[in-house]
Amino acid sequence: MQIPISEVRAKLPQLIKQLQQDPSVIYEITVHQAVVAELKAPPQLPQGGEAAHALLALIDQLPPVRSRPQGRVSEHIKAHLYTQPQDPAP
């Protein structure tokens, strides 16, 4: 819907109320019959916490973490540093 800028200045509170009632309406603001701006409702933002719930759902789908062997690396530092890594069994 095209509206001249002079009319927008006079009716801005009404236009905002109409946008609150029907967010799908887009007002095109014109100057000398040329569209220069749009007045529309902001995009609907997702509810807070939706991203966290999505991440938690993804974590639940991941395979379990392999446990590390017991013992301290510092006790066997040379074995950890200087041995060839072994391929994990398929």
Domain definitions of the chain by residue range: 2-40
2 DSSP β-pair partners: 28
User: Is 67 a residue whose pLDDT tops 80?
Assistant: no
Q: What is the pLDDT of residues 2-52, one digit of tens each?
A: 999 999 999 999 999 999 999 999 999 999 999 999 999 988 776 778 888
Rounded to the nearest 5°, which phi and psi values hold at 44?
-75, 120
Buried b (16+ CB within 10 A) or exposed e, 41-61: eeeeeeeeeeeeeeeeeeeee
Residue 75: pLDDT band with limits 50, 70, 90: confident
**How confident is the model at residue 40, as a pLDDT?**
94
User: Is 90 a residue whose pLDDT tops 60?
Assistant: no
**How confident is the model at residue 21, as a pLDDT?**
93
Contact criterion met (CB below 8 Å) for 4 and 27: no
Q: Give the residue among 3, 8, 51, 1 at the shortest CA–CA distance from 24.
A: 1
State the pTM of this model: 0.49
Of 59 and 81, the structure prediction assigns the larger pLDDT to: 59
